[in-house]
Homo-oligomer: A and B are copies of this chain.
Amino acid sequence: MTLQVGVIGLGVMGAEHLRLLREETAGAAVVAICDADAARARTLAAGADVFDDPFALIASDRVEAVVIASPDATHAGLALACLAAGKPALCEKPLALTAGEALQIVNAEAGVGRRLLQVGYMRRFDPAYCDMKRSTEDGLIGPPVLLHNTHRNAGAPDWFTGAMAITNSFVHEIDISRWLLGSEPVSAMVHAAPGRDPLLITLETERGELISTEVFMNACYGYHVHAQIVGRSGTVEMAQPAVMLTNSAMQHGHRYSENWVPRFRDAYRRQMGAWVRSVSTGVPVGASAWDGYVATTIAEQIVAALGGCGKVSLTLAPRPDFYR
């Protein structure tokens, strides 16, 4: 009854996944870990097998399911290996660096004929997003017409270019907007402030809904994600991310977190629990390989159009029946 999990990659996210599996997830045991830094892996082993080679970990008989949290460039290859081995995997976003690779994975999974991959778009498990989706589906705000997203990072390293703001950050809004609205973007338009930060990206969906997203990599004041769905008869939006308010030094308010880990800690935890249960029950949850492909290809198409000044039409490969 206990799922035997191998974890590949023990950086910030990988270590957090390891902790979640060990301390906050029912029905799972970490039996194998792997990291480029072998010493780090040994330190975190706590009885798990330590692998140098992630493909060996995937192949290990003890490993029933895999968490892929190694560098982005390795995701596609490892996901394909899991498919080949017939082992379920939770793969950190992005699924692949290019839409071509992502589509290859999609086709491979369709070939296997079983949903084995879940992509780690954890926001789908965030209580606020979940409440917003449920309330919208329950008709609380009427048919959605607009979605306002704000995605602000306190700061980004110098090598974080305008393109990465889209492929690394905005992909979250691509995924969560599709999930919230249940419809596909068909056009994109990017406005950029001086220095290409922030960006203001407007998507139109197949149903005519508008999705407006501010992506600000150096917002400076803190990590802050917000979303509001506007419907024909009302709106739902995230409350400020705080359980405690302070009065101090002439100020009332609360502190932001410095990055996404504390803000989405609960989403990561719930994602892990849902994945483990999903592997047991065979009922897929969360973002599929197809969803991973869509996020990556839309981001890629928007990046290709950066610097132009008009609207870009977005196209998707045909969706395999397998994902309907």
Contacts and interface: CB of A to CB of B under 8 A. Distances in A.
Contacts of A245: 236-239, 253
Contacts of A207: 194
Given A25-B26, A26-B22, A200 B198 contact: no
Given A193-B210, A200-B146, A200-B202, A243 B238 contact: yes
A244 B238 contact: yes
Interface-centre pick from A246, A254, A273 (highest chain B CB count, 10 A): A246
A224 interface: yes
A272 B49 CA distance: 29
Nearest to A142: B220
A248 B230 contact: no
Contacts of A218: 232
**What does DSSP make chain A's interface, helix, strand, loop or mixed?**
mixed
A248 B141 contact: yes
A160 B242 CA distance: 34
Contact of A235 (B28, B236, B242, B246): B246
A173 interface: no
B234 A221 contact: yes
A244 B252 contact: no
Contacts of A240: 239, 252
A239 B234 contact: no
Interface stretch (A79-87, A127-135, A163-171, A286-294): A127-135
A273 B24 contact: yes
Given A202-B200, A239-B244, A234 B249 contact: yes
A24 B23 contact: no
Given A142-B220, A145-B198, A220-B234, A251 B250 contact: no
Contact of A250 (B128, B131, B258): B258
A310 interface: yes
A252 B246 contact: no
A108 interface: no
A148 B146 CA distance: 14
A1 B29 CA distance: 10
B145 A194 contact: yes
A64 interface: no
Interface in A91-146: 127-128, 131-132, 135, 140-142, 145-146
Contacts of A248: 140-141, 221, 233-235
A43 interface: no
Contacts of A224: 247
A219 B154 CA distance: 32
A33 to B, nearest CB: 16
30 contacts: A21-B26, A22-B26, A23-B277, A24-B26, A24-B273, A127-B243, A128-B244, A131-B243, A135-B246, A140-B246, A141-B246, A148-B148, A191-B210, A200-B202, A216-B230, A218-B232, A221-B233, A221-B249, A222-B250, A222-B252, A234-B249, A235-B247, A236-B246, A238-B244, A239-B242, A251-B251, A252-B256, A309-B310, A309-B311, A310-B311
